[in-house]
Amino acid sequence: MTPDVFLFLSAFLASAVEMVEALTIVLAVGVTRGWRSALLGVGAALLGLAALVGLLGPSISTVPINTLRVVVGALLLVFGLQWLRKAILRASGYKALHDEEAAFAREREDARRAGSEVRAGVDWYSFTVSFKGVFLEGLEVAFIVITFGAARTHGVALAAAAAGVALIVVVAAGLVVHAPLSRVPENALKFAVGLLLTTFGTFWATEGAGAHWPGDDAALPAILGFLALSSFAAVRALRGRRAALAGARA
């Protein structure tokens, strides 16, 4: 697997996971209060995110490559480890799994109870909730697109294309199902994204710090394999510990 395929896959999976969560919020608001204002909020958020990537993407690539790689590597590591840590805690039962059905029900109840304030013909609640949902979930995607783009030639275009494909897939699935995508294995996807982000972070941070990988880009699958094995071992150990604690309490 080439680094570009890795990069595309990472951006696609990260985008898809975040978009599934954003879709739940928009669906709940749209179904409960009407679609016009909710979709206006989505459009405004997507424009904001595109502007962010458009502004930061090209300007960041003027920084010297080694400085950039160390900064991007550090950010991806901190970010990727957050995803991986949560995914491992969820997989081992130390943290509750994200439930899209429950989130949908909660958002619908909030949308039903919220008062009606119309500004310039727009239902302000629907607009702001949809905007915030899409913008905040999308911010992580924008962050990944920018950092990938900064450390690799054509990275922004490739990562942005992956995010675009994810958007089409998730919106199409949402239109077909017309309900929250609760069957998507979110934790497995988050686990994969955490692993991929941490792999790229490890690779670039090391190169940025001046060290060289044996085999250059060919080291990426080896890093991924090492991190995956370590993470599965952590899940196993934490599950065992949880079962032992439960056994001791019984």
Of 125, 105, 107, the C-alpha closest to 115 is 125
Q: How far is the CB of 241 from another protein (least distance, A)?
A: 7
Let me know: does 48 contact 156? Beta carbons within 8 Å: no
Question: Cα(first)–Cα(last) distance of the chain, in Å?
Answer: 48
Residues 104-123: b if buried by 16+ CB within 10 A, e if exposed: beebbeebeebeeeeeeeeb
Using CA atoms, how far apart are residues 81 and 79, in angstroms rounded to an integer?
A: 6
In the numeric block, which tokens belong to residue 75? 């950010």
Which residue's CB is nearer to another protein, number 46 or number 81? 81
Q: How far is the CB of 60 from another protein (least distance, A)?
A: 15
Q: How far is the CB of 229 from another protein (least distance, A)?
A: 10
Q: How far is the CB of 46 from another protein (least distance, A)?
A: 19
Which residue's CB is nearer to another protein, number 129 or number 181? 129
Using CA atoms, how far apart are residues 200 and 151, in angstroms rounded to an integer?
A: 10
Q: How far is the CB of 237 from another protein (least distance, A)?
A: 9
Let me know: does 114 contact 128? Beta carbons within 8 Å: no
Which residue's CB is nearer to another protein, number 151 or number 223? 223
Using CA atoms, how far apart are residues 196 and 223, in angstroms rounded to an integer?
A: 10
Q: How far is the CB of 94 from another protein (least distance, A)?
A: 5
In the numeric block, which tokens belong to residue 130? 């949809």
Which residue's CB is nearer to another protein, number 25 or number 38? 25
Binding site for another protein (CB under 8 A): 70, 73-75, 77-79, 81-82, 84-85, 88-89, 92, 94-95, 139-140, 198, 201-202, 205-206, 208-214, 219, 223, 226-227, 230-231, 234, 238, 241-242
In the numeric block, which tokens belong to residue 29? 């608001």
Which residue's CB is nearer to another protein, number 101 or number 217? 217
Q: How far is the CB of 84 from another protein (least distance, A)?
A: 6
Question: In the beta sheet, which residues pair with residue 119?
Answer: 122
Question: In the beta sheet, which residues pair with residue 122?
Answer: 119
Which residue's CB is nearer to another protein, number 34 or number 226? 226
Which residue's CB is nearer to another protein, number 119 or number 212? 212
